[in-house]
Structure 1
Amino acid sequence: MRWWCCVFAFVLTLHLDIIAAKSAAQPPPNAIKNKPRTMPTTRPAADHLSTAYYANSCPNLEAIINQKVNAWIKRDSTLAPSIIRLHFHDCAIRGCDASILLNYPGSEKRAHASKTLRGFALIDEIKAEVERRCPRTVSCADILTAAARDATVLAGGPFWQVPFGRKDGRVSLVKEANTVPQGHENITSLIDLFQKLGLNIVDLVVLSGSHTIGRSTCSSIQQRFSNFNGTGKPDQSIDFNYLNSLKRQCKLDTNFVNLDGTTPRTFDVAYYTNLEKKMGLLSTDQLLHSDSRTSPIVDALASQAQLFTSQFAVSMVKLGNVQVLTGKTQGEIRRNCNFVNS
C-alpha cells in the first residue's frame, strides 16, 4: 500500500502542476484590477511571450514552419529527435536564444558537445522562407522552438501551443556548450542543472523521455562495456543480454544505436519500461530508475502513457521559456541564424 500511496501522491502532484501551468498562462480577469498599486513587481521574461505574438506581423508563420519540418522529416525521420535535441542544447546554455545556431570560431556550434547535433540546415531553410514572407520579424529562437514542437508531433508525440516573442542572443561560447549533459553525469548534477534552468525533477525525468525516439553514437556508451567508472568491469546496472547486443552493434565508436531498444520509432512509454528492465542506453538514463529521487517518477510514467504525453507538453513549454530574451532592449531579430546582425 505504501508504494501505491506514493504513486498516487506523485500523480496528484503532476495533475496540480498541469493545472498550475494552465492557470499561469491564463491569469484571472480581475488579477490586474486587484493588484495593489503600491507593490509593483517585475514580470518574468516568459510572461511577455504570447501565442498571438505574430498574429498580425506574420500570420502564416506556424504554417511555414510546419510545412518545412514536415517535408524534411518525410525524407529523413531521424531528423525529428535531432530537432528536439537541438532545441534542448540551445535552451540549456544562456536560455532559448538561438545561440546554438551562431556559427563562427569559438561559438557553441563548434564545441565537442555539439559535433553530433543536426538540423541546422532545416532551420536555415525555414528562416530564409520566413524572411522572404515576413522580413526582420521572426526570431531564430522562435523558429527553433516551434520546429521542436512540430518535430515532436510528427514523431507521434503531443501537440502544444508555442508562445512566441523570443529575441535572438548575440553571445555564443564554445566552453559553455561543453557543459551540456553527455550521458554519463550523475543524477545530482542533472538535478542541479535543471534547477538552474528553472526546471524541476519532474521536468528532468519527463524530458529525458524524449529518448523514446532517436539514436546515439556508440562513443557515448563505450565506457559501459568495460572498466566502468574505473572498476575494471562492465557497468553492472545494465541487463547482460542487452549489453551484449549493444557490443555487437558498436564495433566502431561512430556507429549508431537506438536510444530505445524496443520501440525506437514510436513515441511511447517504452523508454521508461526499458529502465525498469535495466535497458537504459545511456548511464544517465538508467540512473533515473536506480536513484530514489527519480525512480518513483519513472515507475509512474511507465504505467501511464497519457500522463507522460500530457506532462511532456507541459515540460516542453517550460523548457522553451527558459531565460528568454524579450522586449525592445534585449537581443535582436537575426536576419541570418548563423550570424549576429552587423
Structure 2
Amino acid sequence: MRSSPLHILFLLLLLLPYLLTAALAGPPEDDDEYLTKNYYSRSCPRFEETVGCKIDYWHSLDSSLSPSLIHLLFFDCAVRGCDASILLNNTGGERRSPAAASLRGFRVIDDIKAELEKTCPETVSCADILVAAAREATLKAGGPYWDNVYGRKDGRVSLAKEAEAVPTGRESITELIDFFDSLGLDILDLVVLSGAHTIGKATCGAIQHRLYNYGGVAGESDPSIDPRYLNYLKRKCRQASTEVDFDPTTPTEFDNEYYRNLKRHMGLLGTDQLLASDSRTEPIVEALASQEGVFKHQFAKSMKNLAEALVLEGNDEGEVRINCNFVNEKKK
C-alpha cells in the first residue's frame, strides 16, 4: 500500500522537531580541525580503498560480519569514545567483559591493519580503521553511504568494568536517552541507530528473561510480545547460545522493516519494543516505519554523529597503534 502525499507530509512533520534540533546543534564539539575528510590524502592515499577491498573480501566469506562490524564500532564508541579501546586484547580489558562476549569482527580489523602497515606504516589509527570498516560494512549490507572524517588517535586504556555501561537490552527508555546523551547523541540518534537491528542476530540468552522470567516471575512472558512471535521465540530459544535474527521478516535486508516489526509487537530486545510505546520515541518509530528513505538518510547522519563523538585527537591524548591488539611499546 503506497503512502499518500498527505500521510508522508504528516510523518515528516513528526520528525521535524528532532531534525531541527540536530541541525541547530551543529557537529559534535570534538569535531574540529584534527578530523578531516582528507586526513590521509598524502600519508596514505589508498586508505579507504584498502578498507573497502578488505570488507568486500570478508563479506564474501561471511556476510554476517557486516552487522557485527557496525556493532563493534558502536561498542567501541560507547566506552571512552571512538578510540579503538575495544580492540585492545589486554587482561582486564573491555574485550574480556561479559558485555563484549558476542562481539565479532576483530580478525577483519587486524587484517586491514596488517595490510595498511605494509603500505602506510605507523600512519593509520585503529580507531579510523574501525570507523571506515563500519561504513563499508553498512554499504555491503545494503545500507547508505556517508563521508567519514579521520584523524582519531588510539586510546591506551581499556577496562572491562567500563564496558558494563553499554546497553544490554534491559534498560528503560530514560536510561537509554541518558546514555546516548552522555555520548553527545540525541533521541533521534537513539531511535535511528537502534535501526541497525534491521540486520544481525542476538543470542537467545539476551531475551530469555522476556520469554520465561518476565519481571522476575518464573514462567511469565513479556505481554508486549506478539503471541505468535512469542511462540516462535520459545521454540527457537531452547538454548541460551542459539542465535536469533533481530528482524524476523527480512533478516538480511537493510530496510525499515525493523520499525514495522516494532508496531507489530515483534521487537526482539526489550529496549527495541519500548521504542514503539514510549511517548518520546514512538513518533519517530512511526515515521521511520513508513519512510524507508528517511530512515536510510538519517542512519547515515546518525552513524556519522556517533563516529565523531568523544574522539581522541593529537599525540598527547593517544597514539597510532602498530598492532590494534596492543598499545605501542615505549621508545627508549
TM-score norm. by structure 2 comes to 0.93
* 1:74 matches 2:78: no
The answer on whether the counterparts of 1:46 and 1:321 sit within 8 Å (CA) in structure 2 is yes
The answer on whether the counterparts of 1:14 and 1:311 sit within 8 Å (CA) in structure 2 is no
The equivalent residue for 2:190 is 204
Match for residue 291 of structure 1 among 265, 278, 294: 278
Q: Which amino acid aligns with 1:195?
A: D
CA distance in 2, matches of 1:223, 1:153: 34
The equivalent residue for 2:79 is 93
Match for residue 238 of structure 1 among 212, 220, 225: 225
Match for residue 31 of structure 2 among 43, 46, 65: 46
Q: Which moved more, 1:259-268 or 1:7-16?
A: 7-16
Q: What is the alpha-carbon root mean square deviation over aligned residues? A: 1.8
Q: Which amino acid aligns with 1:270?
A: E
* 1:142 matches 2:128: yes
1:4 CA drift (Å): 8.9
Q: Which amino acid aligns with 2:185?
A: L
1:9 CA drift (Å): 3.1
CA distance in 1, matches of 2:53, 2:29: 32
1:10 CA drift (Å): 2.9
* 1:272 matches 2:259: yes
The equivalent residue for 1:40 is none
* 1:10 matches 2:11: no
Partner SS for 2:31: helix
Gaps of 5+ in 2: 1-6
CA distance in 2, matches of 1:67, 1:5: 40
The equivalent residue for 2:166 is 180
1:19 CA drift (Å): 5.5
* 1:251 matches 2:255: no
Matches within 5 A, 1:314-333: 314-333=301-320
CA distance in 1, matches of 2:49, 2:9: 45
C-alpha deviations, 1:307-338, integer Å up to 9, x for none?
A: 10000000000000111011232200000000
The equivalent residue for 1:31 is none
Alignment length (residue pairs):
321
Partner SS for 1:225: helix
The answer on whether the counterparts of 1:18 and 1:311 sit within 8 Å (CA) in structure 2 is no
CA distance in 2, matches of 1:188, 1:15: 20
Partner SS for 1:216: strand
1:104 CA drift (Å): 1.1
Overall identity of the aligned pairs, in %: 55
CA distance in 2, matches of 1:15, 1:116: 33
Q: Which amino acid aligns with 2:205?
A: S
CA distance in 2, matches of 1:147, 1:269: 22
The answer on whether the counterparts of 2:15 and 2:283 sit within 8 Å (CA) in structure 1 is no
The equivalent residue for 2:107 is 121
Gaps of 5+ in 1: 26-42
CA distance in 2, matches of 1:314, 1:17: 13
The answer on whether the counterparts of 2:173 and 2:275 sit within 8 Å (CA) in structure 1 is yes
CA distance in 1, matches of 2:233, 2:68: 21
The equivalent residue for 2:3 is none
CA distance in 2, matches of 1:8, 1:60: 39
